[in-house]
Amino acid sequence: MSGWFSVRPSCPVCHFRFDRSEEGYFVGAGCLNLVVAELVIAVALLGVLALTWPNPPWNAMLYAGIALVVLVPILFFPLSRTLWIALDLTFRSAERGDDTRPQDPG
Q: What is the mean pLDDT of each run of 10 residues along the chain (106 residues)?
A: 62 75 79 93 95 96 94 90 86 70 52
Specify the pLDDT at position 38.
94
Q: Is residue 15 part of a domain?
A: no
Predicted TM-score (pTM) of this structure: 0.71
Residue 33's domain comprises 25-91
Rounded distance between C-alpha atoms, residue 20 and residue 99, angstroms: 10
Total domains present in the chain: 1
For the chain, helix (H) and strand (E) counts, in that order, are 2, 0
Q: Is residue 76 part of a domain?
A: yes
Specify the pLDDT at position 3.
58
Q: Which residues pair with 10 in a beta bridge?
A: 17
Specify the pLDDT at position 1.
46
Q: Is residue 41 part of a domain?
A: yes
